[in-house]
A and B are shown apart, each in its own frame.
Chain A
Amino acid sequence: DAGVTQSPTHLIKTRGQHVTLRCSPISGHKSVSWYQQVLGQGPQFIFQYYEKEERGRGNFPDRFSARQFPNYSSELNVNALLLGDSALYLCASSSDRGGETQYFGPGTRLLVL
């Protein structure tokens, strides 16, 4: 079975631009969560979606938004990019509403210049 997939794997943007990151969960998983991991730190929770509805949101500005589609795949959008948005963005899926085992994708490495 395919694991969690993310695209693209790497991305370079300039300040002020917009970026869209994509995630496909494990087949049958209805919950998708997004995390930002800055070099040397642990992942920071951004969003959780379950059954296409936002169930949890971390301490991130409104420049960050996400959505989940009927097939449970998800997009993370970041507007007006800042240098500090440079990070590894991780997507994780789980079979339930949350708090249980999450399966992570390989991440998208975003560099903002």
Chain B
Amino acid sequence: SQQGEEDPQALSIQEGENATMNCSYKTSINNLQWYRQNSGRGLVHLILIRSNEREKHSGRLRVTLDTSKKSSSLLITASRAADTASYFCATDEGGGFKTIFGAGTRLFVKA
């Protein structure tokens, strides 16, 4: 089963535009993480936000977390062609011993 559900499933934008992806989850969490995956390779950790945090920044990335709505968003500003990838949210479950990933958002950034 998948806890996180990303929206939209796919997103196509022009270089320089901002990209926003959303994630919803079902149960209470300790933290939520976002990962990037290029062309079916290993995942790269982008950012972790804890349940007592509402917003976090890392470079061109901005993540928000609304635990009352059980949702998170990832904003990539000034996108580049190199940002083309699949983006997944992941939540912890079972005391942190189980990480549940969503189905992902496929981002295409056109040069």
Which residues in A have some Cβ–Cβ distance to B below 8 Å?
A: 4, 33, 35, 37, 39, 41-45, 48, 50, 55-56, 58-59, 88, 90, 92, 97-107, 109
| Residues A104 and B99 in contact, CB atoms below 8 Å apart | no
| Residues A99 and B41 in contact, CB atoms below 8 Å apart | no
Known contacts A48-B98, A59-B1; A99/B30 CB under 8 A: yes
A sample of 21 inter-chain contacts (CB < 8 A) reads A4-B42, A39-B40, A42-B2, A42-B4, A42-B88, A42-B104, A44-B101, A50-B97, A56-B97, A56-B98, A88-B40, A90-B42, A99-B30, A99-B31, A99-B92, A99-B97, A100-B48, A100-B96, A101-B45, A106-B42, A109-B40
Q: Which residues of B contact A104 (CB under 8 A)?
A: 35, 42-45
Assign chain B's interface to a size class.
20 to 34
Known contacts A43-B43, A59-B1, A88-B40; A102/B102 CB under 8 A: no
| Residues B98 and A58 in contact, CB atoms below 8 Å apart | yes
Interface residue? B59 (CB, 8 A): no
Q: Which residue in chain A gives the minimum CB-CB distance to B2?
A: A42
| Residues B99 and A102 in contact, CB atoms below 8 Å apart | yes
Q: Which residues of A contact B96 (CB under 8 A)?
A: 97-100
Would you list which residues of chain B between 85 and 111 have a CB under 8 Å from chain A?
Answer: 88, 92, 94-104
Q: Which residues of B contact A59 (CB under 8 A)?
A: 1
Interface residue? B33 (CB, 8 A): yes
Known contacts A100-B48, A101-B33; A48/B42 CB under 8 A: no
CA distance A42 to B45 in the complex (A): 14
Among B30, B88, B95, B97, the one with the most A-chain Cβ atoms within 10 Å of its Cβ is B97
| Residues A45 and B33 in contact, CB atoms below 8 Å apart | no
Partner of B95, one of A44, A98, A102: A98
Q: Which residue in chain A gives the minimum CB-CB distance to B43?
A: A104
